[in-house]
Amino acid sequence: MKGRRLATIDEIIAIESPNSDETLARLETWATDRGIGLSTVDVGDDISDVYDETSATLGVTLGGDGTFLEGIKTFAPRNIPLIGVNTGTLAFLARVEPDDLEAALDETIRGRASVDSRQQVRVDAPDVEATGINDVMLQQVPPENPIDRKITRLDVYADDEYVGEFDGTGLAVSTPTGSTGVSLSANGPVHYPVNNHTLQIVPLHTHKLGVRPIVVSPSTEIRIETQGQASMLVDGGRAHTVLSQGDEIVVTGAEQLAHVVRTSYDDHFFTAISKKLGWGIRDAGVPEAKARDGTDGAASATDPTAEEGVDTIERALTIATEAAEAAGEPLRELHGQVESIDVKSDKSDIVTEADHQADRVITTVIRNEFPDHAIFSEESVRQTNADGDYTWVVDPLDGTGNFAHGNPNYSISIGLLEDGVPVMGVVYIPETDELFSAIAGGDVRKDSEPIVTTDRDSLDESMLISGYDPDGTFLTHFYQESRGVRRLGSAALNLCYLASGSADAVWERDTYPWDIAAGLVIARAAGAEFTDETGEPFEFSLDTDEQRTLLGSNGSLHPEILDHLESGLAVPNRSKSVDFAQDGPTEAVADDQ
């Protein structure tokens, strides 16, 4: 989960432990002042009566680590991010102090916090199926007769490969979040838990000098067979059972990750363990030059991209990238539901919700970071502060037809205009996690790699892409003369594929500003040339009433395409388009992309 997505939070559910009344009162005042809903439940109670799955919800725990673990148990299955406020005593996990409550939450709803994806552990055992954020502990059951055996023997397998016999007081299977002390006692490592998706098998009071902790992937199936009675606890007893001789348990990484919010007001992980474990490497403190404002990857309270001297457009590129990647998360989640729905109206509802959620993330992030800039969006077409120098042009979901049919060819397009001219563009493809970005006159990249258009100058060697072409003019006139004409259903993607050399030319019968604002910057920076169908330079405009034809190419191919296009424009209109697949033409009704 991306921290920028937290900017859309409109509801908080707080889990309260005893003796947290004063902190809860501060939270209530903060939420009321900002118009954010707040529901509270006592630790251990169900939240079903107060949770609305249609709201953008933040979980808050008020207590120590025990309350935080209850929050993980409650919020993780619902994919709700959690921030822990420490009103207890010893806390490794709940690391926001009450005095910093308001500042930490302000940072969160501005989208400037980070979200750690924490690995959970899943266990299947007799009478128990449970998930935990810390560990699964298997220990000997104390004998009734003090002279009976006080150890337990466990046979351990990893993906059906026999690991060996663990002979001692037991073992723990822990996540990077849990059992730091247990690991240290067995001469194991300290795991930095941020986005660390591993599991660790740790022997407890082993009777064999050669037995050491083992680190495995979360997909590893750890099978444990008991040679006698053993007590099993998940997360310190949140699930518990007593195993008999010959019982088998299976432990693996849980598919559902826990999402933990980290702000610049948290204790840093290494600061926390230094304070609580007396870590000798930090006895001298932290030199000022080596200190960091952020925690566990969180943004600092003063965003580094907002520092004086950072160019507005460069900063905009950073913010647009973060906004696009954050908006991609709800699109991927909703896209995964489309294919399971048969009713057309229900699919339409999902597409509408996807558009709305992505637009809300993007526009909220932009308003937070650039309150004086105008925003022009397809989903909520509006223009504010129109007299300013900068206008953002946003298409939160380009390729809605593809999205509605489960096709992965959809994208997010975010462009920035300076005095009406496109100067920055970001196009993100959620399903493939590809990001195209450029600043006018500067570098253009796909992810971190530079891209450039092709240099082909012969039509019969070129691959073309067609956008909206209702009467099939472009398809019919160019298919045989080229190496093929493709239609992807997303104008923003068309322009990015031209920029990266996946196509040599692009045709759009008519364009909307939100479809092309970002792609124009990206393709031009990569070397593309753009005109209308007559060869006149293409001029970008925010006017949505005027049909504007766009022809883009690698530049060297442009004259031949213009010559060929001119003769083809006289082809009579047809009621149906002709869509050419690789194997030949088939008749297809044109649809809006």
Residue 463 CB neighbours (<10 A)? 17
The predicted pLDDT at position 585 comes to 37
With the C-alpha atoms ordered 512, 513, 518, 524, is the resulting torsion angle positive or negative?
A: positive
What three-state secondary structure class fits 404?
A: helix
Q: Is 395 annotated as a binding residue?
A: yes
Q: Is 116 annotated as a binding residue?
A: no
The predicted pLDDT at position 285 comes to 58
Domains recognised in the chain with CATH numbers: 3-116+260-302 (3.40.50.10330), 121-253 (2.60.200.30), 305-588 (3.30.540.10)
H or E, element range at 234: strand 230-234
The predicted pLDDT at position 572 comes to 37
CB burial string 242-281: b at 16+ within 10 A, e below: ebeeebebebbbbeebbbbbbbbbbbbbbbbbbeeeeeee
Q: Is 504 annotated as a binding residue?
A: no
What is the Cα–Cα distance from 83 to 305, expressed in whole angstroms? 24
Listing from the earlier edge strand, what are the strands of the sheet with 374-377? 374-377, 390-398, 411-418, 421-429, 434-439, 444-446, 449-450
Q: Is 469 annotated as a binding residue?
A: no
> What global pTM score does this model have?
0.82
Q: Is 546 annotated as a binding residue?
A: no
Q: Is 134 annotated as a binding residue?
A: yes
The predicted pLDDT at position 571 comes to 37
The predicted pLDDT at position 273 comes to 76
Catalytic residues: 65
Q: How big is the chain by its Cα radius of gyration, in Å?
A: 29
- Strand partners for 234: 136, 239
Taking only the tens place, the pLDDT of each residue in 120-153 is: 999 999 999 999 999 999 998 877 776 666 688 9
The predicted pLDDT at position 338 comes to 64
Residue 269 in tokens: 């992980």
Nearest residue to 189 (alpha-carbon basis) of 219, 257, 179:
179
Q: Is 135 annotated as a binding residue?
A: yes
What is the Cα–Cα distance from 134 to 510, expressed in whole angstroms? 56
What string of DSSP letters covers 158-207? ETTEEEEEEEESEEEEE-SSS-HHHHHHTT-PPPP-TT---EEEEEES-S
Q: Is 515 annotated as a binding residue?
A: yes
Positions of the chain with pLDDT lower than 70, given as ranges: 90, 146-150, 179, 276, 280-310, 338-347, 380-388, 568-593
Q: How far is CA 369 from the centre of its chain?
A: 20
What is the Cα–Cα distance from 393 to 378, expressed in whole angstroms? 8
323 Cβ neighbours under 8 A, 6+ residues apart? 4, 361, 362, 365, 366, 414
What is the Cα–Cα distance from 164 to 222, expressed in whole angstroms? 12
